[in-house]
A = this chain, B = another copy of it.
Amino acid sequence: MNNFMVMWETDRKHPKYEQLYRFIVGEIRNGHFKENEKLPSKRVLGEYLTVSGNTIETAYDMLVQEGYIYSKPRSGFFVSKIDALAPTIRLKNAIEDRANKPSYRYNFKTNSVDTKTFPFSTWAKISRDMLYKDLLDSGEGQGDLCLRESIAKYIREFRGTLCTAEQVVVGAGMEYLIGIVSSLLEKDSAFALENPGYYKTYNLLKNLRRKMVLISVDKQGMQLDELRKTDATIAYLTPSHQFPTGVVMPVGRRIEFLKWAEEAENRYIIEDDYDSEFRFGSRPIPSIQGLTESDKVIYISTFSRMLAPSIRIAYMVLPLGLLGEYKEKFRYEASTISRFEQHTLNEFMDVGYFCRHINRSRKLYKKKKDALVDAIHQYFEKGTVEIIGADYGLHLLLRLDTELSEEAIIQRAKKNSIKIHGISQYYLSGTVLPHKACLVLGYAGMSLEEIDRGIALLSRVIASAN
């Protein structure tokens, strides 16, 4: 029994039965208690350790349940056969790879937004109200009906889509929704992506292990004749504002794409409408989805850009032809968005705050866009620059008439703490045709002053090099 030297905790942090349990497990695993060795009876051990029978009882119970020991009727408890793995692998304390990202004084990245426009107190107020609604039980996997109705209403009105709430699927981010789409479409069908295009979509589809073909973009968007030369059956388009070129696809080309899709059962168009709300001067172009009553378009968009990046609510409109399969395949999956947030957004849209917010943001971003355009005209020599696609979306292209390569400009800018991208960086395939240096400038996240100073500095940096 002197092998039962249990060191009771003085601070009593854990119940005695647990301490005893841990002790015996330790002894078994370090081999002090051998296979098939008999353990003292509960009574004897209880007396020896001067603890209640219950304590021993519970500990032995746990040991039996977990298989460390076994009991033989009328003969007691014995150590089971446990050939433990040698704990070789040391648990390395992996380090956060916050790959010391450089921070820039002037950051013209394209994916940021101005969270200052967010109607914070309103959102907070509604959220608070929602917290007192009974929304703890699981809602609908597709998203709660009320929110889907608000969304359907909104995109019918503002995006000209033809859809009912029934076709709307709400999910935590476009990545998640495209994952759903991927499992609704044929396993081996290839996606056609715009080139240059959005690397996140490319990366996402790669993770989903989808076949992809890259189709060049001309002044009207993805080139259909090039698409026709491939076996791709899903065209992934950003027609209202191609990323990054800013091209708007004209109605003629849109209709040709719809025709292409109509030609075969398994052909579909994914219409990524990521920033159609931000169009300056005239109202947004109606979506392809609503152009005809064709059932060939999967319309997808997100609220993260319109509200705040940390609010993860995206949505898509499924063609009626895919709805049945969706309902069948995803009938068990719960929504990925907390119902509190779903109902907060629903209220926010219902009461009209959302539209007001969009209009406010649009005005603010227009100011910033104008400031950027003005700054370019002010600081760059006339005739040496061309601005492309400034009228919609939250970035524009700046084509430069200079001997410097895009890369050279980006590097010089970086040295001066200016973050800019070159269009070459958005070519998803390696081959980039030689072209004039063309910068992609996002401005949504910058202040008017930063925009002005940033462009002033950029122009000097480039000039000094010529």
Residues from chain B with a CB closer than 8 A to the CB of A450 are none
A164→B92 CA distance, assembly (Å): 9
Determine whether the beta carbon of A66 is less than 8 Å from that of B309.
Answer: no
Determine whether the beta carbon of B336 is less than 8 Å from that of A293.
Answer: no
Residues from chain B with a CB closer than 8 A to the CB of A17 are 282
Residues from chain B with a CB closer than 8 A to the CB of A118 are 136
Determine whether the beta carbon of B252 is less than 8 Å from that of A82.
Answer: yes
Q: Is A87 positioned at the interface, with any CB of B under 8 Å from its CB?
A: yes
A89→B252 CA distance, assembly (Å): 20
Candidates B89, B162, B251, B312; contact of A67 at CB < 8 Å: B251
Protomer copies: 2
Determine whether the beta carbon of A338 is less than 8 Å from that of B341.
Answer: yes
Among residues of B, the one whose C-beta sits closest to the C-beta of A144 is B310
Q: Is A49 positioned at the interface, with any CB of B under 8 Å from its CB?
A: no
Proximity bits, A55-98, B CB within 8 Å = 1, else 0: 00010011001111000000000001111110111111111110
Residues from chain B with a CB closer than 8 A to the CB of A253 are 67
Determine whether the beta carbon of A292 is less than 8 Å from that of B85.
Answer: yes
Chain B nearest CB, measured from A359 CB (Å)? 13
Q: Is A26 positioned at the interface, with any CB of B under 8 Å from its CB?
A: no
How many chain A residues touch the partner (CB < 8 A)? 100
A94→B320 CA distance, assembly (Å): 7
Chain B nearest CB, measured from A243 CB (Å)? 14
A120→B172 CA distance, assembly (Å): 24
Among residues of B, the one whose C-beta sits closest to the C-beta of A340 is B310
Q: Is A2 positioned at the interface, with any CB of B under 8 Å from its CB?
A: no
Determine whether the beta carbon of B93 is less than 8 Å from that of A336.
Answer: no
A287→B143 CA distance, assembly (Å): 34
Majority secondary structure of chain A interface residues (helix, strand, loop or mixed): loop
Residues from chain B with a CB closer than 8 A to the CB of A338 are 310-312, 337-338, 341
Determine whether the beta carbon of B323 is less than 8 Å from that of A94.
Answer: yes
Determine whether the beta carbon of B251 is less than 8 Å from that of A91.
Answer: no
Determine whether the beta carbon of B204 is less than 8 Å from that of A333.
Answer: yes
Q: Is A335 positioned at the interface, with any CB of B under 8 Å from its CB?
A: yes
A259→B82 CA distance, assembly (Å): 12
Interfacial residues of chain A within 30-45, with CB under 8 A of chain B in the complex: none
A188→B120 CA distance, assembly (Å): 47
Stretch touching chain B among A324-332, A349-357, A376-384, A433-441? A324-332
A84→B293 CA distance, assembly (Å): 11
Q: Is A417 positioned at the interface, with any CB of B under 8 Å from its CB?
A: no
Determine whether the beta carbon of A310 is less than 8 Å from that of B339.
Answer: yes
Residues from chain B with a CB closer than 8 A to the CB of A179 are 179
A135→B308 CA distance, assembly (Å): 9
Among residues of B, the one whose C-beta sits closest to the C-beta of A250 is B67
Sample (28) of A-B pairs whose CB atoms are under 8 Å apart = A17-B282, A18-B283, A58-B281, A61-B281, A61-B282, A66-B250, A80-B252, A82-B251, A83-B255, A84-B255, A84-B292, A85-B292, A89-B293, A94-B167, A94-B323, A115-B137, A120-B136, A123-B131, A124-B128, A128-B128, A137-B310, A173-B334, A176-B336, A183-B208, A183-B209, A207-B329, A312-B334, A312-B337
Given contacts A67-B250, A183-B207, 14 further A-B contacts (CB under 8 A): A58-B281, A65-B282, A85-B262, A87-B292, A92-B320, A95-B166, A123-B131, A138-B310, A172-B337, A173-B336, A200-B332, A207-B329, A304-B334, A312-B338
